[in-house]
Structure 1
């Protein structure tokens, strides 16, 4: 839960996460070679590793990595010294560019799950009074328990919709 709440700290958290991920992947890919820069092939492997980690660790839908053509275009934008390869700092800039949409998507999903769903649950609790059988049970539940149950149900529906 602490990691989820930390995401609301903003841009600093995001930048720190991108730096940690990009440094780890850069070191992992570069451990096999003597060069200080990533070639296109190494960069493509690095992108696949990053998206593999993102899909394992982040909530929400599966994120597809950019195509080779998109990577080539981004290399041209991020390659400051125009040598056709990316050094560590250029790789960080590259990582910021390719993961921008991913973080936006995850943030929107977290906002719905953590803020909107409990609010809607509490606002609709009173409307369940007239539902036979369910109304009395819902009214006896504390607001926090009811909001949690509705939030879990909404998250489960979201995940089911993403899988189909």
Structure 2
């Protein structure tokens, strides 16, 4: 069975065919063109809306929107293009500038370390008289809740720290 599958090109690698990519980009572009785009702000909102739709509907990887300067450059090129070439400009922009978002090491380590630490903290807290109520919380609710809370706090602290560093530079 494995030998047969190895003869099939791109099987299991998740690479879309050119026809599938053209169909997907055509659908995205038609949704993009449904909006009334008269200035850069409308264009920017439409691009960000596309990324929101991608990230909400597709499981797994999420995609980061390109920086504002790149979107401004694409808008200038898109605005100057003829009506027939606008779709080509848009598709080229989406295929070259869209990048999957990457997890930073802090988030990854927090996600790996928090569940065992939450279990250890729960076991230690059960013996403390003031925290006897912790016994009534099931492990299947406590561990994921603690993990999500830790991941949210890491994301918020990273965003605050990065925002603080960017504003002081």
TM interval, shorter chain, is 0.3 to 0.5
Length-normalised TM-score, structure 1: 0.44
Give the structure with higher Rg (CA): 2
Length-normalised TM-score, structure 2: 0.43
